Structure 1
């Protein structure tokens, strides 16, 4: 945790990735306390939802060792959000894509949004919380200066596919194979999704933005019309051959 002239910054290794906090408000005792609460929240989420932990609630639930009624309230909330995402995406988001319970496609975005909310409730109005590349921002980077969020190009590691300009609350989520390989499955047949190299979805809140990005990547090129129909969301896709497409309002958000 590091105070700077611009505010407060912190990096936390948790949930198998890196979370970064960039708070541009004057640090107060309440904000310091909220940052600590946000970090503890992330570790709790990891303990409850990690599919790599044999003793996590999700792992035990998936093995039928416990019932949903025995799980922490967070599990009920996340599985309810997964059911909503499944309906919204016409079945292309699934917490059981390969027959095993795995709500990871929504957990990181949900945890990141919750961390951002904790800071906001403590009085931090200008923040960027980055959960392994999925980002929730609020306010501005500086008075009169928007946040600029670079989106990595999936085929050219040193290049950016685009830069999203955020004035006010905005969420940016990218799904693809660049970082973790072919980890997103077609929920209908269990095969690795391969129709896109990456897809970036922009919305106001990260939980569903992240879920929609996962679903769009699983759906491939056919996701374009569906993404266009989503009110309050825009998207950019990079195809395996380097071509791109974007929804009609995406250019208003990008430089």
Structure 2
């Protein structure tokens, strides 16, 4: 997926159990990377993009990702578009979805206190090992050694899209040009796959994405945004640490 992943488990368990839980997460994420990496010519998504694999012959995971991406395309008025930059690239959904699934696997295995961070897409449950909520710093979009917000959550997902690290990698599907207007978009909510897609869509919308995100709060998705000219906006229920 072109990024690094860190996993933190809060339970007091024997080392072999902790290693087994982490190994299961890593195995799953490597499986996702092998299937969905757009950097690998032999991945399932690359073969599908070249027309070498029919949807009827695709894995259940690929069919799910494409169906979910189509639903999000409708929900975002076309701004979340896995075809925005040309061949199909569902990375904007896959990373969040894969981490959401990984966290669910940990929960099913009995881990109630965990934190997974995949390149800034984060899913956490329960308590930090020191007690209290997990804390997440949202990077300042111009000064890498500072934060714009610090969030505190016991259970939830945090996804951030921005132009300050990877440059113009999000495109406005209406214009075909790189997104402009927003420098950083963070979405907090119950499901990382949705939060990740919403952050990507809002960034593609530009400043219109601020009002669009405000309407997502009713569904439990709060947001924090920094514009290209340095203005900051956040929704009323953003779980910012005191």
TM-score bracket for the superposition, by shorter chain length: over 0.9
Corresponding residue to 2:30 among 25, 31, 43: 43
Q: What does 1:211-222 align with in structure 2 at a 5 Å threshold?
A: 211-222=197-208
Q: Distance in 2 between matches of 1:110 and 1:214?
A: 14
* Residues 1:69 and 2:56 are matched in the alignment: yes
Q: 1:233 to 1:73 in 2, by over 3 A?
A: same
Of residues 24, 30, 39, the one that matches 1:52 is 39
How many residue pairs are counted as aligned between the two chains?
239
CA–CA separation in structure 2 for the residues paired with 1:253 and 1:80 = 33
1:178 pairs, out of 164, 174, 182, with 164
Partner Cα separation in structure 2 for residue 45 and residue 92 of structure 1:
24
How far apart are residue 193 of structure 1 and its match? 0.4
Unaligned runs of 5+ in 2: none
Deviations 1:192-241 (A, max 9, x none): 00211101010011010001000011111101221111120111111112
- Find the counterpart in structure 2 of residue 238 from structure 1: 226
Taking the aligned partners of 1:34 and 1:84, their CA distance within structure 2 comes to 32
**In 1, Cα distance between the equivalents of 2:240 and 2:71?**
26
RMSD: 1.5
- TM-score, scaled to structure 1: 0.89
Deviation by residue 1:138-182 (Cα, 9 ceiling, x = unmatched): 01114751111011011111110100011x211000000122111
Runs ≥4 in structure 1, deviation > 3 angstroms? 28-32, 252-255
Give the alignment's TM-score, normalised by structure 2. Answer: 0.94
Instruction: State the match for 1:249 in structure 2.
Output: 237
